[in-house]
A and B are shown apart, each in its own frame.
Chain A
Amino acid sequence: MDNLIELILLKYPKNATENIIEILLQIQEAEGFISAQSIIMLSEHVGVQSSKIYSVASFYDQFVFEARAKFIIRVCSGTSCYISGSDTIISFLEKEFNIRIGEITRDHVFQIETKSCLGACAQSPVLEINGVFYSNLTPQRIRQIIHQCKSSLQ
């Protein structure tokens, strides 16, 4: 892991603070989350205290500091999706996996999140799993999508 982060850091000049967010995004892409170790390495690279880096990272929604599930189900809760019933979808998913919003299933495969607006209002309600959008959500379709995810693991 450390090597991976080093490779990312090498792409950027030392002591250039404007790249912090971009580097953090890349670290998250590579590692899946921002580890304490990566914050320390980044702080040494750009010459800013690690507490400052953490303060920047924790400001943005995008960054997480714990390992995440393989499939992150993001239910859009933008206005258009909200009035079209995104709440029902969330409670359906919560029941289906027996977890609550933000939590991870025991096998670390699924995680449910809400997202403020995914910008796909025309097909609302929508959900996104690892970058792929799904619309026309009925209980059967959601089950089918979940099944697809599970079978793609094997």
Chain B
Amino acid sequence: MPKDHGIGASPKRREDVRFLSGTGNYTDDINLNGQAYVHFLRSDVAHGRIDRVDTAAAAAMPGVVRIFTGADFEGVGGLPCGWQVTDRHGQPMAEPGHPVLAQGKVRHVGDPIAAVVADTYEQARDAAEAIELDIEELPAVVDMKAALRDGAPKVHDDLAGNLCYDWGFVEENREAVDKAIKEAAHVTTLELVNQRMVANPMEPRVAVGDYNRATGDHTLYTTSQNPHVIRLLMGAFVLGIPEHKLRVVAPDVGGGFGTKIFHYAEEAFCTFAAKAVNRPVKWTSSRSEAFMSDAHGRDHVTKIELALDAENNFVALRTDTHANMGAYLSTFAPSVPTWLHGTLMAGNYKTPLIYVNVKAVFTNTVPVDAYRGAGRPEATFQLERVIDKAARELGVDPVALRRQNFITEFPYATPVAVEYDTGDYNATMDKLIEIGDFAGFAARRAASEAKGKLRGLGVNCYIEACGIAPSNLVGQLGARAGLYESATVRVNATGGLVVMTGSHSHGQGHETAFPQVIAEMIGIDESMVEIVHGDTANTPMGMGTYGSRSLAVGGSAMVRATEKIINKAKRIAAHLMEASESDIELKDGQFSVAGTDKSVAWGDVTLAAYVPHNYPLEDIEPGLEETAFYDPSNFTYPSGAYACEVEVDPETGRVTIERMTAADDFGNIVNPMIVSGQVHGGLAQGIGQALLEGCVYDENGQLLSASYMDYAMPRADDLPFYTVDHSCVTPCTHNPLGVKGCGEAGAIGSPPSVVNAVVDALQSAGRDVTHIDMPLSPARVWAALQG
């Protein structure tokens, strides 16, 4: 019987009632008395010198409060980068300035030049059109390899060139890897593109700045995955506001997918301008603005070489990647192609020698940063594609080749600096083959062929490092922040609990899953637990939600705080029952004395804590409220095996996904329904990347896929019914819940299986196709079929 409450049960998501009934409170729902509106005048050229910005005529337009330009921000810090990567030669990365409003030059289409604050949004927009601009257009660099050539136009004139860093990992392995590849029995080489993506959360970004003249307090309401991080970055590095005078609120947030982690210019602007004009200032991104101002994702160009010995054992792996940073360094951009990518190149395999080279490059494009999976999808895609190609070259079964090279003993220290604590890759592969009905594939292929279609089956494995992360480790790797999480558990007099967590929920279901954990620990109903998040004024300093870390890190902090609560409550119960503390047991919300029939209810104890008439005041403080900070000792390592079955229409090149199967090991599971939902969403984004989505610039840096007319978001009918399973469980060994994280798996694990399946389908028809770059649009697949 499945459980009906506590850990392992699947209660419906309580937050969905407000999300689905239009009663959520999103940032755009916040309207403050007297608020003004800002419209940003953005560059329509990719690269240009700003010769003149004349705002005189515009400032006289109706309703205009004030117009700001880069000059207004000369005394203000630029947007900081939160991660410093050290290159192969021990030198720090090139780190250009990132002004709130452009100063001297514009560097990508969408770069903000001026900001008009007016009584209404339309007036702000009207006035922006009256700003007189002289911008001398300069040659733009878009292609990464072209950007690194001598004489290429420089995105930042004060840097030596467009190279941000040339990173080698592990640099000491380089010669050994070169030698092993040179001497290997077989080397499979693949060149591929992991295309640029636009996250496109349903809710565009919004910021509302407010300033209280009476107290000097600033408040920023913003669409963020991590309000405390925004408070720290913006307060300390941009505007010079101490944390106790700055409150950041991220209320209901309609999807993040990474792109709402970062600190953006618009947030700093609204906070700054609210004080400058002494009115609240609001900005709501249009969808068109989102395409050219939200940080993009992925955008890697890679050559990967896999060397095998005569027995098909993997002996060495070498990768050479160019990673696009865009025009500026977004908050965590440098970490994505390095520490979130290079460290994952071992995958599920015991390849002894690995060398990863990444050149990060500045171009005249929107900045690129983390997007669901962040570095790990890029690592998984190239590795699982090159293994598939190797299997085909060697004429061996792709599943058998993977199994032969699986890591089977744990803990396992990879040659790329991480140690996997647990996993069972054969178990998830066995489960995949069972639930994906591999045995029936031949018959399904025959049925497809009878209809004139080609059918392919593609498989891949994945591993990810999430639950990020041990602060001392990431500090050594260049992170400029800690990556712990916090929780305060406040028990009320009548027994209800409020958990104030530093994690942030923007669709993940924390408000439902976190109470399940507490309900299990105390033995009370989940409805007695409320989750509070998203406001720096009433939650402890937390690092927010990304990298599949909420339950593994934030949940662990909540468990630690709840353990403190239970320990104190037991001492109170012992006093009430005149028993020894060591004899007190807590079960089903009752404290009892072991070996007796004496008991007191949870509510009796909590009431005693706040009405301490009969209470050991000399030994225990009244009240029942505890805080814990949890810093993990390692990453967590979810893993799994995915399979995709496609039909290809050979006449049109159109690919349809007929089956999509995911067998994941997420460690222990708190709410299986929510986990399935997270996998479903990840699969939609992974399939979106594989078949549909792609952000395209022309050679002048104009964004061609600037709206949904050309940027293909997956729709429901593009997606199949999924078969997902997470019954293979190897619990994480180092967090109290034994959980690993599930938020990114679907997006990491699915693109290679889709591409592997299409290649399999085309090869089944005798076509010599070994790779097609994503998205596998009908036009690209048809072109591949033509040879």
- Pairing of A with B: no
List residues of chain A with CB under 8 Å of any chain B CB: none
Interface residues of B (CB under 8 A from A): none
